[in-house]
Amino acid sequence: MYIILVYDMGEKRVGKMLKLCRKYLNWIQNSVFEGELSDVKLLELKSKATKLMDKEVDSLIIFVSRQERWLEKEILGKERASTDIFL
């Protein structure tokens, strides 16, 4: 499954979420990740992410496309190289 993940975290927790998401997906922009994940790995990521979050404040949205080819991607402006880290 192809995943797009976006989060909006409290400042104290954003570093940990960035670190966690990088283990599963590719960082593409400030608080935005994408990549291929199995069902099992997605469940694992969600469970770990939920433990990191303050559910009253933090927000995480996951879009799942069964096939990467069903999803076209276009970048306008500067492509954030995956080595650039912006918290």
Binding site for a copy of itself (CB under 8 A): 4, 6-8, 28-32, 46, 49-50, 53-67, 70-80, 86
Q: For residues 23 and 50, which CB has a smaller minimum distance to a copy of itself in the complex?
A: 50
Mark the binding-site residues for Mg(2+), compressed into ranges.
8
- Closest separation between CB of residue 12 and a copy of itself, Å? 14
Alpha carbons 54 and 72: distance in angstroms, whole number: 32
Residue linked to tokens 């650039």:
84
Q: For residues 40 and 76, which CB has a smaller minimum distance to a copy of itself in the complex?
A: 76
- Closest separation between CB of residue 49 and a copy of itself, Å? 6
List all residues 6 or more positions away from 20 whose beta carbon is below 8 Å from its beta carbon. Answer: 45, 48, 49, 52
Burial status of residue 45 (CB atoms within 10 A of its CB: 0-12, 13-18, 19 or more): buried
- Closest separation between CB of residue 22 and a copy of itself, Å? 17
